[in-house]
Structure 1
Amino acid sequence: MVKNLITFDKNPYNHIKIIDLIDESDYMKWEILDYHNQKFILDNIVGQTPFTRKGHSNFLKLLPTLKRKQYITYFDNRAIGKVSFTPVDYGWDIFSYHLFHENDLGKGYGFLMVAAFFLYGFVNLHICKLTTTVRLFNYASMRILQCLGCRIEKQDNQLFYLICTEKDYMSEKEKVSSILAKKFFS
């Protein structure tokens, strides 16, 4: 029995389930190492350093005590990606995500995954805001985050720094749900 399972009742999110990495199988705990080290992921995420087996082993030993939370997202019982964030007083800091499969790029799975987390965070947990960063050329992530209400707070020569408040998200929530329902289930 999975303790930290997040599910949704309404379309399109009812096809999503989210599991805390702590509750995942040993297989999945190690599989995320290979997923993370794929070129298409390392080329687009903020932290571009490949993980090592030794480093990942240490991470897994510390996982139950870490403040940063890690979740695996499933669409119709197929693992599609990982989301992580650090809980802070106001909500979530350094929200990040990536898909697992390169052939899922451009098909809406990233949008659906992130939208499910925003829904869970802002509606179920009542977080006030979240912050995130995106590499300057990662236009797909920028589009996803901006569609969900994120706005650019600042930028430097490598990153956009984004913020999303509950009000920002709530103003986009119904439109996002409608877009996703049409994309996946029309």
Structure 2
Amino acid sequence: MLLWINGPFGGGKTQTAHEIRRRLPGSVVCDPEHVGFGLHRTLPPELRDDFRDLASWRQGVVEVLDLALNRHEGVVIAPMTVTDPRHFAETVGRLRELGHDVRHFTLLAERETVLARLNGRGFGRLLKHVGGKDAGLRRESWAVRRLDHCLERLGEPEFAEHLWTDRTTVPRTADRIAVLAGLTLRPNNEGRLRTWLRQTGVGLRHIRFD
């Protein structure tokens, strides 16, 4: 089974994916963004735009996830924002055509909620102390510029199953996905401090410097 976790940038996809991996034995996270980062790094900086527009990214993601699904015995989890219906058809749709059991979920939240998450992720909390309350958002300007488009497109029926996350935690969102996918997660026995430390570590490991 493939769990494709969609949502706006800053919507909690990566945190949710790693929460499921932590509590679902045998599962693995295969992040399609890394395929895009590799393609970007082969290009001069001035030519790096949205790697999702590259046919090579869409084809590469299908090839990599197809391989993982065929060779890995556990559930594969892919946290990735896809808002273009054609790109969706060429990735999620193509994997289904290849015979894979793909469960797609879109994490949604109000605009203010996503902005707050973007402002605090990575080094955002530190940047707020140094550069002002919106310093984190300035670093996330690419994601902020695309936020309204993402929320509008991802709210469409073709991007269901929709899960609203404004008033819930990452572990509870993971629980909801598991129930809808017919999976059983290990109980979440972490305290608040340990959860915060672990999620902060996940966020720091996914900071981009290029």
Query: Is the pair's TM-score, using the shorter chain for normalization, greater than 0.5?
Result: no
Greater Rg over alpha carbons, structure: 2
TM-score w.r.t. length of structure 2: 0.28
> Which structure is richer in relative contact order (CA contacts within 8 A, separation 6 or more)?
2
More helix by percentage: 2
More strand by percentage: 1
